[in-house]
């Protein structure tokens, strides 16, 4: 038996296997007009083809909970019903091929209002076409990006409400998993890390203050998300800025991540998607499975299962991660861009049966 291809049940949802598609921004939504932020043919082809390829869970790219929460003006969003309706067709197609559809809800904070990566990924100042004023815990810029404004408590309350409203729309669109994006230097991560959060009010300062926004978002989403559907949180386990342990370190660290997940145990979170980095320009020692040790800590030191992501490319590698208990599932990103049918190839190499089964049209292969 292959651990990688065993089903997994979280709440009322059974994932047919442990090979999942990580959220990956496509920067391909309309920038203006009635369909701003809505998925279209590209997204349908991109997402549904991975369901046909056999992944157990397809998570959409970061979908903004407000227009100001987009990374770029070409990002997906789910801040209005037109966007939710466009997602609904894609979700039904994913489910028709036996995979589970999930959505990542996000707010980019100070890393918002940029051009697409292939256009330079540069900051678009407010007042320029497709640019807007960005918001963050503190008026500190990310690198050479535009300086954000510090969020007021009223702004924060509005952001929490935006996440809850986006979760409600996600439910109407048919998604069965919601993931809150608290990683990669986007807004919630900016609040978590002392490197970007210099506030002195209830949303800054000590560990309790810096984690407050995420806990409020989780509670607001869990309140509208059905009890039989799972809720995930993606975290960056470390900023890669220093090795200081303890809860009051000058940046975000693996020790703080474990402490955060221990808090989330009582807030209805069902799985932690463990990534790293993104909140500062830092040297990251990238290599095969380089983030797996962080997932292992969450898996072993808390009661919430973890999923591992980051340069997981080989079937035996993925199998060992799950079989040895380093993570409950693996999330593949770029490898699924290169090979949408990776799960089916992996099952053959591991001698495993795979669910979802091969579509009749492809059975001859």
Catalytic residue among 186, 203, 290, 341: 186
Give the whole-angstrom CA distance, residue 343 versus residue 65: 31
Give the whole-angstrom CA distance, residue 216 versus residue 43: 31
Q: Which helix (H) or strand (E) holds 154?
A: helix 153-173
Q: Which helix (H) or strand (E) holds 101?
A: strand 100-106
Q: Which helix (H) or strand (E) holds 318?
A: helix 315-323
**Nearest CA to 349 among 305, 314, 321?**
314
- Peptide linkage before 356 cis (omega within 30 of 0): yes
Asked if 341 is an active-site residue, the reply is: no
What is the CA 223 to chain-centroid distance, rounded? 20
SS3 13: strand
Give the whole-angstrom CA distance, residue 160 versus residue 157: 5
In degrees and rounded to multiples of 5, residue 180 shows phi and psi of -90, 125
The residues annotated as belonging to the active site are 186
């Amino acid at each position: 038996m292959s651990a990688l291809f065993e089903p997994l049940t979280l709440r009322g949802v059974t994932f047919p296997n442990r090979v999942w598609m990580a959220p990956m921004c496509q920067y391909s939504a309309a920038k203006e007009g009635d369909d701003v932020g809505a998925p279209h043919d590209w997204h349908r082809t991109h997402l549904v083809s991975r369901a046909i390829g056999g992944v157990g869970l397809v998570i959409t790219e970061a979908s903004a909970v407000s227009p100001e929460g987009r990374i770029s003006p070409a990002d997906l969003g789910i801040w209005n019903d037109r966007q939710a309706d466009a997602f609904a067709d894609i979700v039904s197609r994913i489910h028709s091929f036996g995979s589970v559809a999930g959505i990542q809800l996000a707010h980019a904070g100070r890393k918002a209002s940029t051009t697409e990566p292939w256009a330079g990924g540069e900051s678009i100042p407010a007042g320029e076409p497709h640019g807007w004023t960005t918001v963050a815990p503190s008026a500190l810029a990310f690198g050479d990006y535009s300086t954000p404004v510090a969020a007021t408590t009223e702004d924060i309350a509005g952001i929490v409400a935006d996440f809850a409203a986006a979760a409600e729309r996600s439910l109407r669109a048919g998604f069965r998993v919601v993931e809150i994006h608290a990683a990669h230097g986007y807004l919630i991560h900016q609040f978590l890390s002392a490197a970007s959060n210099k506030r002195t009010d209830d949303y800054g300062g000590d560990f309790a203050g810096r984690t407050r926004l995420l806990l409020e978002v989780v509670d607001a989403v869990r309140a509208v998300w059905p009890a039989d559907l799972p809720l995930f949180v993606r975290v960056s386990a470390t900023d890669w800025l220093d090795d200081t342990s303890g809860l009051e370190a000058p940046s975000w660290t693996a020790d703080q991540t474990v402490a955060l997940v221990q808090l989330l145990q009582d807030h209805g979170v069902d799985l932690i998607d463990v990534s790293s980095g993104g909140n500062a320009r830092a040297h990251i020692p990238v290599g095969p499975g380089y983030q797996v040790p962080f997932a292992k800590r969450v898996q072993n030191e808390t009661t919430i299962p973890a999923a591992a992501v980051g340069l997981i490319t080989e079937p035996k590698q993925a199998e060992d991660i799950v079989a040895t208990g380093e993570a409950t599932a693996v999330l593949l990103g770029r490898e699924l861009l290169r090979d949408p049918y990776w799960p089916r190839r992996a099952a053959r190499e591991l001698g495993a049966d795979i669910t979802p089964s091969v579509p009749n049209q492809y059975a001859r292969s």
